[in-house]
Structure 1
Amino acid sequence: MSRIPNFLHLGPGKSGSTWLHETLSLHPQAYLSEAKDLYYFSRFYDRGTQWYLAQFAGAGDQPVVGEVCPDYLAEPLAPQRVHDTLGPDVRLMVSLRDPVDRAFSSYLYAAKHGAAAPTFRETAMARPELIDEGRYGTQLLAFARLYPAAQIHVSVFDDLQASPQNYLDEVTSWLEIDRFEIPAAQLEATLPASKARFVPVARVAQVGADWVRKHDGARVIGRVKRSSLVQRVLYTPLGDARPTITEDDAAWVRENLAGEVDTVEREFGLDLTSRWGWT
């Protein structure tokens, strides 16, 4: 029998969602959907509630049942869809990353799959979602209109980078489940920044993955993404060769999103501008 989820990680992307999914999946008091990124409340809402709840058929009596998907925070229709499907008591979590770093990380991801223009700025102009996914203030307020502050946990990606255990401790405390000691292997980044060994092959793999996902193969995609063999064959870690955003482009992103960061600070009591060096 399927359980109704009572926990959602909403996003944004490139902010530790894969790590959180893999780590919480190990917790004996939590059941997460086998496939990360179900995209139900964004891309696949037409599949219906029965399909969605079937993704949690394996849940037992764990106190926490839910999913991690980076698309939901930026999807304008998601807040009402979540409320209509899961009701008023579901707990919602986000992990905010400096929008400059998050946008550039998304650009690198697009580039390794052959889906980016020659420069970050050109890519952002052609794909506005690179910037729009950082409109945290607008996005969070849309959920806050339907859910009280106590049900929205706003974490900061910097804290995950600084101390994964402390970061997880805050999450489990908020979820009201036992503290969980992170296994040593899980302390490393689940999917570190990388580049394609051969871009056309990586592009074909990405297109194929999208096709499989559209045909209800999210579980298969989840297993493939977790395969260290697949990652080694398709990609090589960037390591010290990781490109960095230019100061002009960083300033351009800040100019576009300063108001959004101000809104989060004002409405959710976080000091982000100084933490992210925006002042």
Structure 2
Amino acid sequence: MRQFQASFIGIGAQKCASTWLYGVLQQCPEVFVSDEKEVDFFSYYFDRGYEWYERNFASETAHQHRGEISPSYFIHADAPARAAAYNPNLHVFVTLRDPIKRAFSNHLHEARKGHISGVNLTFETALDNNPLYRDQGRYATHLSRWMDHFPREQIHVMFQEEILADRATMARQATDILGLKPLDDFLDLKANESVRYRNAAVGETLWKVGSYARRHGMGRLVETVKSAPGIKQMRNANRESMRDAVVPMAADTEAALTDYYAKEVTQLEALIKRPVPWERFRATETA
């Protein structure tokens, strides 16, 4: 293994708690994660070569593991083969959630970023505007490509629903996978909320300061400051929930997407050899 070769990657899917996983691994002293969460090497920047990629993990301090998390890898057709050629022993973390909730969260994200406007702020119209809303939820199709290139014991599937139910246990699962000591003081980070800032400059500045502090071991201080009287009120006053700004998904759209994903969910369960925690698909199976 080269000096700074990655030993793990997170591949998404998008809007499925990958930022939470990044935050967990960032807290592990034996792990070096890239400063930028999404390096996107095996998808968008493969032409830059391994040396460029491994600069993201360069450190004078010895670490048991190095890696990064890029949700773009999950659906990229070439990423599995590229990653396997780079290091066939990679641990591959996969985070998934109910594909219909994922699609709507994707929609809120695009609205928050300003990538869509007008009629496309309506989810039903946006489904036609952005085919990836649907495609990224075809979990079995995309995961099977990764299983063609990596042994199943190196692919670790985690569900966002299980993370929300017991964050500490799921954090312990992540550290156990990498053979690390459990975190003594696990800092439970809630990231990527579907909110936008009324004053974008203030919001971005606070985010950058917090991100820098967490990377330098001051995560607990950041969370304490965020909860302090005055600071908490200022942050809340500058935030608007995207769920208040975007019309909810229509019931018939939700039903149609349930039918659309039903076969994929059945195939996913066969791939990972365990049931998924999405009750809507239980009803589909018994109907």
Tell me the distance in 1 between the aligned counterparts of 2:130 and 2:143.
22
Corresponding position: 1:128 with 2:113: no
Q: How far apart, in 1, do the equivalents of 2:177 and 2:40 lie? A: 24
Range that drifts further, 76-85 or 255-264 = 255-264
Structure 1 residues not aligned, in runs of 5+: 207-221
Deviation, structure 1 residue 15: 1.1
2:18 maps to what in 1?
A: 17
Say if 1:23 and 1:182, in contact at 8 Å, map to a contact too: no
Deviations 1:204-233 (A, max 9, x none): x99xxxxxxxxxxxxxxx94783789x959
Instruction: Select the structure of larger CA radius of gyration.
Output: 2
Q: Deviations over 1:33-81 (max 9, x none)?
A: 1110111111111111111111111263222211011111111110011
Alpha-carbon displacement from aligned partner over 1:63-100 (angstroms, at most 9, x marks no partner): 22110111111111100111122x21111010111001
Partner of 1:75: 76
SS of the equivalent of 2:72 reads coil
Q: Which runs of 5+ in 2 are unaligned?
A: 213-225
Residue 261 of structure 2: which of 254, 257, 262 is its match? 257
State the TM-score, normalizing by the size of structure 1. Answer: 0.82
Counterparts in 2 of 1:52-131, with a 5 A limit?
52-58=53-59, 60-85=61-86, 87-116=87-116, 117-131=120-134
Per-residue CA distance 1:108-150 (angstroms, 9 max, x = gap): 0111222231311211111111111111101111011111111
In structure 2, C-alpha distance between the alignment counterparts of 1:63 and 1:234, rounded to whole Å: 42
CA 1:195–1:29 in structure 2 vs 1: closer, same or farther (change >3 Å)? same
Scaled by the length of structure 2, the TM-score of the pair is 0.80
The number of equivalent residue pairs is 256
CA distance in 1, matches of 2:133, 2:252: 16
1:19–1:242 CA distance, 2 compared to 1 (3 A): farther
Distance of 2:102 and 2:210 partners within structure 1: 20
More deviation, 112-121/165-174: 112-121
1:169-224 deviation line (CA, Å, top 9, x unaligned): 111111111111454xx3241232213427xx69xx99xxxxxxxxxxxxxxx947
Contact 2:74 2:143 in 1 (8 A): yes
SS of 2:280's partner is: coil
CA pair 59-194 structure 1, distance change in 2 beyond 3 A? farther
Q: How has the CA–CA distance of structure 1 residues 59 and 15 changed in structure 2, closer, same or farther, with 3 Å as cutoff?
A: farther
CA distance in 2, matches of 1:66, 1:91: 9
| Change in 2 beyond 3 A, CA 1:152/1:59 | farther
- Partners of 1:118 and 1:91 lie apart in 2 by 38
Once the two structures are TM-superposed, the CA of residue 241 in structure 1 deviates from its matched residue by: 3.9
Shift in Å, 1:256? 2.1
* 1:170 matched to 2:173: yes
How far, CA to CA, are the matches of 1:257 and 1:127 in structure 2? 17
Separation in 2, partners of 1:11, 1:196: 25
Q: Please state how far the C-alpha of 1:11 moved relative to its aligned partner.
A: 0.2
Q: Distance in 2 between the 1:172 and 1:104 partners? A: 30
Contact 1:192–1:237 under 8 Å retained in 2: no
Q: Structure 1 counterpart of 2:252, which letter?
A: D
Aligned CA distance change for structure 1 residues 124 and 224 (closer, same or farther; 3 Å): farther
Between 98-107 and 48-57, report the one with greater CA deviation. 48-57
Once residues 235 and 132 of structure 1 are traced to their aligned partners in structure 2, the CA distance between those partners, rounded to angstroms, is 33
Offset of residue 23 of structure 1: 2.1
Q: Name 2:211's counterpart in structure 1.
A: 226
* Aligned-residue offset at 1:276: 3.5
SS of equivalent to 1:226? helix
Q: Any conservation in 1 of the 2:8–2:66 contact (CA below 8 Å)?
A: yes
Q: Could you give the per-residue CA deviations for residues 7-42 of structure 1, whole angstroms, max 9, x where no partner exists?
A: 011001111111211221111111111110111111
2:273 to 259, 265, 269: 269
Using the alignment, how far apart are the partners of 2:60 and 2:250 within structure 1? 46
Share of identical aligned residues, percent? 26
Letter in 1 for 2:143: L
